[in-house]
Amino acid sequence: MIPDYKNILVINTMHIGDLMLVTPALRTLRANYPKAHIALLTDKPLADLVRCNENIDECILIDKHGRDKGILALIRFIRQIRKRHFDLVINYHRNERASAIASFSGGKNIVGYAQPVFHRFFDHWMPNLAMADTPKDKVMHQTLCHLKVLQEAAGCTKLDDRGLEMWLPPEEEKKASDLWQKEFAEDDRVIAFNIGASWMTKRWIDAYFAECADHFIQEGYHIAFLGGPTDVAIVKACIEKMKEKDSPKVHVFTGKVSLTVLAGLLRRCCLFLTTDSGPMHVGVAMNVPIVTMFGASPVPTFYPYDGKDIVIKTPESCHPCGIHDCPKKGEDHMACMKHIPVDVVMKYSEELLARYGGKSARELPRERGNHQCRIIAL
């Protein structure tokens, strides 16, 4: 018998990319429970990424680094959740905070991922098969893991997976439009660069990005450097390595725009050259063709979830290490990224530009149903 859930809580309190990877699950929940109230619990700084999502009714925000920081604050937060009387609670992150919120939420049916000890409070605990400790023969992309939870533990009988999705708040879309018109002419072809990442081992070499930027500028493209405040210094260093650093075709938005304005800019680009990062997954949601370089990251679990995109995977035997800072010394330091050469990245970038005619992402049709990207193993 299919359950009749009326009040559903989905928990994902982590990073930009993690939140984007939950969006197919939100659509599937809405398809299966069209009359339910669906609330998404997420981190306060990420609210704009999902507050206009058409498949949820409410965003509940936790201020992890502010008023909700610490054990006592977390207990107060959980008490507020308990007052909501959710009949289905789905936890999509297995860290201690999310596990505790789900475990003590008072939900009638608690399902999903959890840390050891906490999972005994779950009605249906499932392992996250996208994690590094998963046996190779059971590994799944994170989005597919989320959908598996809905099928096996939340009564969902039909999947509605249209890929990653993001709706921009109207005021943020206007900011992106105004900024674009200020920076670019109508017929400019723009390639976005995101060179930062949360781990050092996810960052392709700055000088390699600079060489790619020089090539594209010489071919007539404009370059838009994206990223957040923590990326300002590395973008500046990268541009200093460019032969074309003084070109009017170099545009720097790093640290100057919100995540949602960044998304609005990506919709207007014809290619996105990026590290494995949150903005990569935003780019997928914005439908821009992507070339990305994977060193420390496990490809099968976090590749860009779109059939038109390309992952170039390092040839190093230590891939995927999952280590934030490379422990190797000398020439072997960051070998995973050093050994993804510029000419290979340019080859596949040019291939995507030719295939899609240099059109902006918003001009391209979505390739529904094809979410497996192309993986180039060197």
Separation between Cα atoms, residue 277 and residue 197, nearest integer Å: 5
* Residue of 79, 75, 38, 91 lying closest to 60 (CA atoms): 38
pLDDT at res. 317: 79
Residue partners of 88: CB distance under 8 A and separation at least 6: 3, 5, 7, 8, 9, 107, 108, 109, 111, 154
pLDDT at res. 297: 78
Separation between Cα atoms, residue 155 and residue 57, nearest integer Å: 20
* 130-150 average pLDDT score: 90
* Residue of 142, 151, 189, 109 lying closest to 360 (CA atoms): 189
Per-residue pLDDT band at 299 (split at 50, 70, 90): confident
Q: Give the H/E segment covering residue 136.
A: none
Q: Give the H/E segment covering residue 54.
A: none
The pair of structure tokens assigned to 239 is 């541009």
Q: Tell me whether the CATH fold assigned to 7-153 matches the one assigned to 170-377.
A: yes
How many C-beta atoms lie closer than 10 Å to residue 157's C-beta?
9
* Residue of 250, 251, 219 lying closest to 354 (CA atoms): 219
Per-residue pLDDT band at 1 (split at 50, 70, 90): low
* 201-222 average pLDDT score: 95
pLDDT at res. 129: 86
Q: Which of 75-84, 124-133, 239-248, 277-286 has the lowest mean pLDDT?
A: 124-133
* Domain locations in the chain as residue ranges: 7-153, 170-377
Separation between Cα atoms, residue 155 and residue 151, nearest integer Å: 6
pLDDT tens-digit map of 44-81: 999 999 999 999 999 999 998 899 999 999 999 999 99
pLDDT tens-digit map of 92-103: 998 999 999 999
Q: What is the mean pLDDT of the chain?
A: 93
Task: Name the H helices within the chain.
Answer: 16-20, 23-32, 47-50, 71-82, 96-103, 142-153, 170-183, 206-218, 232-240, 259-266, 278-285, 299-302, 335-338, 342-355
Q: For domain 170-377, give the CATH superfamily.
A: Glycogen Phosphorylase B; (3.40.50.2000)
Identify the CATH number of the domain defined by range 7-153. Answer: 3.40.50.2000
End-to-end CA distance of the chain: give it in Å, rounded. Answer: 49
